[in-house]
Structure 1
Amino acid sequence: MPQTRHLPVNARRILVTVAPSVLASVVVLSVFLSVRDRLPEPMATHIGQGGQADGFSGQGAFLAVALGVLIGGAALFGGLAQWIRTNPGAQRVIAVTGGAVAVLTGWLIVAVLLANTDADDAASVSLSGLQAALAFGAAAVYAAAGWALCGHAQESETTSGPSADAARLSLGDSELASWSRAIGSRVLPVTGALVLAAGLVVGITTGWLPALPLLITGVPLALLTGARVTADRRGITVTPTFVSWPRLNVPLERIQEVGHRSVNPIRDFGGWGYRARPGASGIVLRSGDALSARLTTGSEFVVTVDDAATAAALLNTLADRDRRTPDGG
Structure 2
Amino acid sequence: MESQQGDSGRTVWYGSQFSGWMLAVGVVLAVVLVGSAVFVEEYRDVSLVLLMVAAAFLVTGGIKVTVSSEGVTVASALVPFLRRHIPLGRIERASARWTRPMEIGGWGYRWKPGMRAVSLRAGDALWLELTRGTRFVITVDDARTAAELVNHYLPSRHEDR
TM-score (norm 2): 0.83
Give the one of 116, 121, 124 matched to 1:281: 116
Distance in 2 (CA, whole Å) between partners of 1:309 and 1:278 is 25
Distance in 1 (CA, whole Å) between partners of 2:158 and 2:73 is 19
How far the C-alpha of 1:194 sits from its partner, in A, is: 3.3
Letter in 2 for 1:233: S
* Gap runs ≥5 in structure 1: 1-173, 325-329
Distance in 2 (CA, whole Å) between partners of 1:280 and 1:224 is 17
Asked if 1:259 is matched to 2:78, the reply is no
Which position in structure 1 is the counterpart of 2:85?
249
Which position in structure 1 is the counterpart of 2:3?
none
How far the C-alpha of 1:197 sits from its partner, in A, is: 3.3
Q: 1:283 to 1:223 in 2, by over 3 A?
A: closer
Which position in structure 1 is the counterpart of 2:4?
none
**Structure 2 counterparts to residues 190-229 of structure 1, below 5 A:** 190-203=24-37, 204-205=39-40, 206-229=42-65
How far the C-alpha of 1:220 sits from its partner, in A, is: 3.9
Letter in 1 for 2:152: T
Whichever structure has more strand as a proportion of its residues is: 2
Letter in 2 for 1:193: V
Distance in 2 (CA, whole Å) between partners of 1:191 and 1:244 is 20
Which position in structure 2 is the counterpart of 1:297?
132
Query: Do the aligned partners of 1:252 and 1:322 also contact (CA within 8 Å) in 2?
Result: no
Q: 1:293 to 1:263 in 2, by over 3 A?
A: same
Distance in 1 (CA, whole Å) between partners of 2:28 and 2:78 is 19
How far the C-alpha of 1:301 sits from its partner, in A, is: 0.6
* Aligned-CA RMSD value: 2.1
Letter in 2 for 1:232: S
Q: 1:256 to 1:321 in 2, by over 3 A?
A: closer
Give the one of 21, 27, 32 matched to 1:187: 21
Letter in 2 for 1:196: A
**Structure 2 counterparts to residues 19-168 of structure 1, below 5 A:** none
Query: Do the aligned partners of 1:255 and 1:319 also contact (CA within 8 Å) in 2?
Result: yes
How far the C-alpha of 1:321 sits from its partner, in A, is: 6.0
Which position in structure 2 is the counterpart of 1:272?
107
Letter in 2 for 1:306: D
Looking at CA atoms only, which structure, 1 or 2, has the larger radius of gyration? 1
Distance in 1 (CA, whole Å) between partners of 2:115 and 2:17 is 20
Letter in 2 for 1:178: V
Larger relative contact order (CA 8 Å, sep ≥ 6)? 2
Asked if 1:233 is matched to 2:77, the reply is no
Asked if 1:320 is matched to 2:151, the reply is no
Distance in 2 (CA, whole Å) between partners of 1:241 and 1:200 is 23
SS at match of 2:16: strand
How far the C-alpha of 1:223 sits from its partner, in A, is: 4.7
Corresponding residue pairs, total: 150
Query: Do the aligned partners of 1:275 and 1:284 also contact (CA within 8 Å) in 2?
Result: yes
Query: Do the aligned partners of 2:60 and 2:108 also contact (CA within 8 Å) in 1?
Result: no
Deviations 1:51-70 (A, max 9, x none): xxxxxxxxxxxxxxxxxxxx
SS at match of 2:127: strand
Query: Do the aligned partners of 1:239 and 1:245 also contact (CA within 8 Å) in 2?
Result: yes
